[in-house]
Structure 1
Amino acid sequence: MLTSARNQFSGELAEAKHGAVNDEVVLRLPGGQEIVATVTSASAARLGLTTGKKAVAMVKATSVIVMVDTDVSKVSARNAVSGKVSDLKKGAVNADVTITDDTGLAISAIITNSSVDRLGLAVGKPAAAVFKASSVIVGVDS
């Protein structure tokens, strides 16, 4: 499956909670990390999203928020990866920031250059990548 999403994580569904409108699914990655996604119940049924199913979670880099306070328990977003800035490339207006945790899980974010400067981001500095469960697209092999 080829997509334009910068962040793609393969794993197995560890949990699936059915709701009247949306379902919540938890994708467990090989390193033990979990990505939470909310999808419509109709989509979950169409994709067969049940515990044990192999799936891919995709998140556009523009949907990722970067924090320098790595206490991610203080945000409402369900997904957060604390680590260090492992790559930083500034463009004319935006920057491409990659945050990697201690297991090697890397999340890319596109943020403004002014945000990079305001947050004091630099390679090696602690940071966290945060994204909402509703920003996760779930895919399965057909």
Structure 2
Amino acid sequence: MKIIIPTWLIILAAAGQIFTAIIYPYVRHAVFDWYNDVKKLKPLNQEIAKTYGRYIQGLNFSFGLISILFVSDLQNQTSLATALTGLIAAYWTGKLITQFAYYPMYQIPPKKIFKIGTVLMNIMFVAFSLIFVVLFVSNLTGYLQNKP
């Protein structure tokens, strides 16, 4: 049985990943007051925290850009498509596990926009994970069936 993820759904997820990269600095500043917290760290730890923040932002943007530019290649059931969709699926699934395991203990500021934003962002993260897990499974099964 061949699993088909519509191209428009992958592109929508890609746009969402790029959106998360663009909105990331605002969320850190306005919602989490992240920059003031980072200032309390030792200088080296400040730089490490900022570097990891940039990694997250860069990965979100890169995964989105790859998904838009190479949408057909991500569906072609090759070894590279399998590896890349597996990586993206693991990234977003790991994000979800981390988010739901550790973040509930922290308070989001009680503004209505932040509460709505939290729900919408969580919906997006679940969607990213599901889309890329299904795409990975599709690629893996197709790759294993077509492997010489």
Normalised TM-score (structure 1)? 0.23
Task: Identify which of structures 1 and 2 has the higher relative contact order when contacts are C-alpha pairs closer than 8 Å and 6+ apart.
Answer: 2
Larger Rg over CA atoms: 2
Normalised TM-score (structure 2)? 0.23
Greater helix percent: which structure?
A: 2
